[in-house]
Each structure stands twice: as structure tokens, then as C-alpha cells.
């Protein structure tokens, strides 16, 4: 895909939301671009809201449904599994039928499943509805990325992904806080009622404002066989698979932090729940801030592969420092050195996550939905594998967390150098060739 000429939608900061290619006045373009950002950001925020707003209610659910904690924990696992597998279904569907129909169908099912969660009489039925909720909620994740690929290219796409991080990065932080406040005035079922209302409002906004972005001539007409061949061809692209694995291993390192930090910060280093919440919030702000610096300052001035390589190197260095500190190489260390290492690791994700999405999707304008599905599913699956490994040695050492993080960082670097081979690609800052492949 060639660089767009000045004045085209791809070089404007904010393209028309309808994707019809009609030039809009600058003020209208800004308004529609802001609306697009909010709509797509809302779609990417639904999964963390569905997962994390429910967390403070877990003990209450255990008591209310008279179920063991292990059973109630499955309501989280099945929702995460549904979000991973649902993307493999919805992504190819959006390449065949366009973005609107699968997205609206998924959102309607999400609203119904969430409402049924609020009415679940026992844990087993709640688990089933949570699985359906995750499967349907996956539509928002995968199609939001595909819509960005439809409307943007090169530098503009990288900047937009960085902007989306502002919403998707804040959502996991505020979701438990919102859930805790909801529980002050109602019970755990009220959390799902609020999620139902949020889903219904977002579905209405999508129906009224988000027009089709994939024209019929660019859609795939085949069935399951063509879908599988498309995914096979995507994975056969060495560089695409490299960026997919880099992003997945990077997310796994992040998930290791999310899973282990409560007991590392509170149980091992003796911090209060309030201090833990503060540090978690600061780290999330660091991730979002670096993501914004990446989108506003670095993109367009520094090649994307250099940004990605720098982020991966910083993650590896932070994980190495955490491993050395937690294993006692420097003697006893307090909370703040560990917190500093975790902050660097988290903030560096602001360089890695937007870059991997952009570099992978630049190679796949012909199958953005399927490519987005593979990207999303790989990150969720590797994240779910990394999560239980951090507690393998018990709750009295941070070494497993640091080992998992360093292992993921090293594997990400190996994939980046061995599969993406950035030194061979002659990357410019804008990317794009005539055949739709990125010059990276």
C-alpha cells in the first residue's frame, strides 16, 4: 500500500467515520474522528470491564450461590476463554460480511448474555453465561482493530492504536473501583445489570454512528475452507507470525505482572491494599503515558521497528533486574526498587503493544479481520498460560513472576530478530508498498 498523498483521508489525523471517502471540513473531521475514537475505545474497553468490574464481587458470589471458590473462579476463566476463541469466529465473519453485521450481532448477544448472568440461579449456569458473554464480547475487540486497519495506514494507524491505549489502558484500572462502588449500593447481580446497560448504550451508539468500513469488493466470499486457508497463509507469512508472537509474549509478560502483583506487593513486601492500588494505578498511567508519547512524538519520526525493539529491550532489562533483586543477588531489597522495576516493565508496553498491532496489520489489508482474530487469540491464550505459572513456587517468593517475565521478554526478542528480521526490511517511517505489504 503506497503512502497516501497529502490531503487524503490517510494523512488526515481523523478520517470520516463513515469511511465513504467524502472529504469533510476540518472541524467535522475532528468531531467524527473523536467519535470514532470513543466508539472503538468503548469496544476495546468492554472485555476488561466485563472481567475486572466483577472481581470485587467474587467472595459475595461464592456465598450467594453456595459454591466453592474454585468453581466461582471458573466464571473468570470461561469468560477469558470465550474472548480468545470468539475472535477466531468473528474476525473471519467480518471479512466475509463486513464489519457492522457481525459487530452488532455480537453486541446484542453480549447484552443478552450479561443480563442472563444477573439472573443466574447457580454457579454452573453463571459459568455457561459467562462463556457466552466472552464469546460475544470478542466481537468488539477483533472488529475494532479491523476497522482501524480499514480506515488507516502506516503512521496514522500507529498513532490511532496508541490513542486507543488511553481508553483500553485505563479500563482495567477503574473497573474494580467501579465494581466496588456498585457493591456498596447493591449486590453482585447489580454489577451485571450495570454491564448490561453499558452494553446496550454502546450497541445503540455503534448502530447509529459506526458505518460500514469494508466495501463489498474487498470482502471474502468463501466459507470455512477459505477462512482456514486465509489464516494458514497469514501464519505462513514469517514476519506476520513474528509480530504476532512478539505481541503475544509481550502480553504474557504483562499478564504475569497482573496475576502476581497482588501477592508480590502485599504478601511479600508488606504493602497495604491501598498502596497496592496506588502502585497499580501509577503503573497503568505509565503504560498509557508512554503509549501517548509513542503516538504523538515517536511515530512518524522513528521507524516502528526501532520503537518496538527499544520497548522489548527495556522489558528484558526490567525483568532481569526484577529477577536479580527477587533472588537476593543484591541482598535484601525493599518495595520501592521492585516497584520501580515493575513500572519500567509496564510503561515499556506502551511502545510494544501499538507497534506490534500496527506492523502486523500493515501486512494484511486483504484480511484484516482474520489477522486481528489471530492477534487477539494468541495474546489471550499465552496470557492465560502465563498466569498460573507465576504462583508455581508459592506465595512467598517473587522469583517465578520475574522468571516468567524474563522468559517472555527473551522469547519476544528472539521472535523479533529471528522472524521479523527488521534489519532486512528497510523500514521507512510511513510504511507501505504497492502490493499492500508494509515496507518495514
| Position 269 pLDDT exceeds 70 | yes
165 and 291 Cβ atoms separated by less than 8 Å: yes
Whether 12 has a pLDDT exceeding 50, the answer reads no
- Residue 121: pLDDT over 80: yes
Which one has a higher pLDDT value, 168 or 150? 150
pLDDT of 186 strictly over 80: yes
CATH number for the domain that contains residue 241: 1.20.1250.20
Is position 133 within any domain? yes
Of the residues 213, 248, 276, the one at which a domain ends:
213
pLDDT band for 432, please (50, 70, 90 cuts).
very low
Entry pTM: 0.75
- Residue 268: the pLDDT is 84
The domain boundary residue, chosen from 213, 243, 273 = 213
Q: DSSP letter for 302, please.
A: B
Query: 17: which residues sit within 8 A by CB, 6+ positions away?
Result: 32, 33, 35, 36, 39, 209, 210, 211
Host domain of residue 375: 224-423
Q: Are 109 and 255 within one domain?
A: no
Please indicate, yes or no, whether residues 183 and 228 belong to a single structural domain of this protein. Answer: no
CA–CA distance, 360 with 155 (Å, rounded to integer)? 13
Tell whether 298 and 204 lie within a shared domain: no
Burial class (CB in 10 A: 0-12, 13-18, 19+), 130: buried
| Grid-cell match 466475509, residue found | 96
Within a domain: 62: yes
Domain shared by 197 and 66, yes or no: yes
Which grid cell sits at 160? Answer: 490511532
* Residue 156 pLDDT exceeds 50: yes
pLDDT by residue (tens digit) across 224-252? Answer: 677 788 888 999 999 999 999 999 999 88
Mark whether 149 and 277 lie in a shared domain: no
Mean pLDDT of 420-433: 56
Query: Is residue 24 predicted with pLDDT exceeding 70?
Result: no
In terms of domains, do 378 and 257 share one?
A: yes
User: Best-predicted range by mean pLDDT among 32-36, 107-111, 154-158, 386-390?
Assistant: 107-111
Residue 8 within a domain: no
pLDDT tens for each residue of 317-350: 999 999 999 988 888 888 899 999 999 999 999 8
| Residues 67 and 151 both lie in one domain | yes
Q: Determine, yes or no, domain membership for 151.
A: yes
- pLDDT on residue 61: 86
First to last CA, the chain: 12
- Mapping DSSP to helix (H, G, I), strand (E, B) and coil, where does residue 8 land? coil
Instruction: Give the pLDDT of residue 155.
Output: 80
108 and 230 share a domain?
Answer: no
Q: Which residues, at least 6 apart from 276, have a Cβ–Cβ distance to it below 8 Å? A: 261, 262, 265, 266
In a shared domain, residues 72 and 183: yes
pLDDT tens-digit series, residues 252-261: 898 888 777 7
* Tally of domains in the chain: 2
Residue 436 lies in a domain: no
Dist CA 62 CA 71 (whole Å): 8
Q: How sure is the predictor about 272, in pLDDT bands with cuts at 50, 70 and 90?
A: confident
Q: What is the pLDDT of residue 305?
A: 92
Write the pLDDT tens digit of every residue in 47-92: 888 887 887 787 788 889 988 877 887 887 788 888 888 988 888 8
Query: For the chain, what percent of residues have pLDDT higher than 90?
Result: 34
Residues 256 and 395 both lie in one domain: yes
- 208 shares its domain with 231: no
As a whole number of angstroms, the distance between CA 267 and CA 280 comes to: 15
Q: Report residue 152: phi and psi, to 5°.
A: -125, 165
Residue ending a domain, among 213, 233, 262, is 213
How many residues does this entry show for the chain? 440
345 is a domain residue: yes
Instruction: Please give the pLDDT value at position 52.
Output: 76
Residues 48 and 167 in one domain: yes
Between 8 and 83, residue with greater pLDDT:
83
Check residues 221 and 203 and name the one with the higher pLDDT: 203
Does 339 fall in a domain? Answer: yes
User: Is 200 a member of any domain?
Assistant: yes
Q: How far apart are CA 325 and CA 333, in angstroms?
A: 7
Amino acid at each position: 500500500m503506497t503512502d497516501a498523498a497529502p490531503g487524503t483521508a490517510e494523512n488526515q489525523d481523523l478520517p470520516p467515520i463513515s469511511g465513504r471517502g467524502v472529504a469533510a471540513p476540518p472541524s467535522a473531521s475532528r468531531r467524527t474522528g473523536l467519535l470514532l475514537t470513543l466508539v472503538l475505545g468503548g469496544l476495546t474497553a468492554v472485555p476488561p470491564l466485563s472481567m475486572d468490574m466483577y472481581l470485587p464481587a467474587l467472595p459475595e458470589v461464592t456465598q450467594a450461590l453456595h459454591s466453592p471458590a474454585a468453581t466461582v473462579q471458573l466464571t473468570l476463566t470461561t469468560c477469558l476463554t470465550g474472548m480468545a476463541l470468539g475472535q477466531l469466529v468473528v474476525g473471519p465473519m467480518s471479512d466475509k460480511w463486513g464489519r457492522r453485521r457481525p459487530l452488532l450481532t455480537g453486541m446484542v448477544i453480549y447484552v443478552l448474555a450479561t443480563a442472563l448472568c444477573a439472573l443466574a440461579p447457580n454457579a454452573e449456569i453463571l459459568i455457561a453465561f459467562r462463556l457466552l458473554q466472552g464469546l460475544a464480547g470478542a466481537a468488539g475487540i477483533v472488529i475494532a482493530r479491523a476497522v482501524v486497519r480499514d480506515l488507516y495506514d502506516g503512521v496514522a494507524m500507529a498513532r490511532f492504536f496508541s490513542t486507543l491505549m488511553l481508553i483500553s489502558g485505563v479500563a482495567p484500572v477503574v473497573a474494580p473501583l467501579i465494581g466496588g462502588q456498585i457493591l456498596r449500593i447493591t449486590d453482585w447481580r447489580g454489577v451485571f445489570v450495570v454491564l448490561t446497560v453499558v452494553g446496550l448504550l454502546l450497541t445503540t451508539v455503534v448502530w447509529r454512528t459506526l458505518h460500514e468500513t469494508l466495501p463489498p469488493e474487498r470482502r471474502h466470499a468463501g466459507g470455512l475452507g477459505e477462512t482456514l486457508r486465509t489464516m494458514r497463509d497469514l501464519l505462513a507469512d514469517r514476519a506476520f507470525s513474528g509480530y504476532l508472537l512478539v505481541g503475544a509474549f509481550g502480553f504474557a509478560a504483562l499478564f504475569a505482572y497482573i496475576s502476581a502483583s497482588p501477592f508480590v506487593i502485599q504478601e511479600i513486601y508488606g504493602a497495604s491494599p491501598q498502596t497496592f492500588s496506588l502502585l497499580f494505578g501509577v503503573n497503568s498511567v505509565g503504560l498509557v503515558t508512554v503509549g501517548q508519547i509513542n503516538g504523538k512524538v515517536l511515530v512518524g519520526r522513528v521507524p516502528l521497528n526501532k520503537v518496538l525493539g527499544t520497548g522489548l529491550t527495556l522489558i528484558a532489562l526490567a525483568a532481569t533486574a526484577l529477577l536479580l533483586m527477587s533472588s537476593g543477588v543484591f541482598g535484601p531489597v525493599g518495595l520501592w526498587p521492585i516497584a520501580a522495576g515493575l513500572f519500567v516493565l509496564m510503561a515499556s508496553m506502551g511502545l510494544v503493544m501499538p507497534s506490534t498491532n500496527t506492523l502486523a496489520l500493515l501486512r494484511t489489508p486483504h484480511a484484516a479481520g482474520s489477522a486481528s482474530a489471530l492477534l487477539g487469540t494468541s495474546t489471550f491464550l499465552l496470557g492465560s498460560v502465563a498466569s498460573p505459572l507465576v504462583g508455581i513456587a508459592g506465595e512467598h517468593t517473587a522469583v517465578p513472576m520475574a522468571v516468567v517475565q524474563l522468559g517472555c521478554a527473551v522469547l519476544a526478542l528472539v521472535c523479533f530478530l529471528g522472524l521479523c528480521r527488521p534489519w532486512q526490511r528497510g523500514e521507512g517511517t510511513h510504511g507501505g508498498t504497492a502490493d499492500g505489504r508494509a515496507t518495514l
